[in-house]
């Protein structure tokens, strides 16, 4: 049972511990990074690493919706 808990935690981290969260949250200390540390590390952050981009439109679904109308 303990092994499955470790696997569940690892699966959770793989899914939710994104690069953005890694920058703001220290997994070792299990706490948010202090403001002073964030300011020191600000040069590491690149906007392209953190921006969210809309996925491409699936034309197949759009065509199917038009046909349904």
Note the residue count of the chain.
69
Confidence of residue 45 (pLDDT cuts 50, 70, 90): low
Pair of tokens at residue 6: 């470790």
14-34 per-position pLDDT tens digit: 888 777 777 778 778 778 888
User: Which carries the bigger pLDDT value, residue 9 or residue 44?
Assistant: 9
Please check the confidence at residue 42 and state whether its pLDDT lies above 80: no
Domain ranges of the chain: 19-48
Q: How far apart, in whole angstroms, are the C-alpha atoms of residue 67 and residue 69?
A: 5
Query: Full-prediction pTM beyond 0.75?
Result: no
Give the pair of three-digit tokens for residue 14: 């793989």
Residue 59's pLDDT band, with cuts at 50, 70 and 90, is confident
**What's the CA gap between 52 and 33, in Å, rounded?**
22
């Amino acid at each position: 049972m303990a092994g499955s808990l470790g696997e569940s935690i690892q699966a959770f981290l793989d899914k939710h511990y994104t690069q953005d969260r890694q920058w703001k949250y220290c997994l070792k200390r299990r706490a948010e990074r202090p403001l002073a540390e964030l300011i020191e590390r600000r040069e590491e952050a690149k906007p392209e690493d953190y921006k969210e981009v809309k996925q491409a439109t699936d034309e197949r679904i759009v065509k199917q919706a038009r046909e349904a109308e």
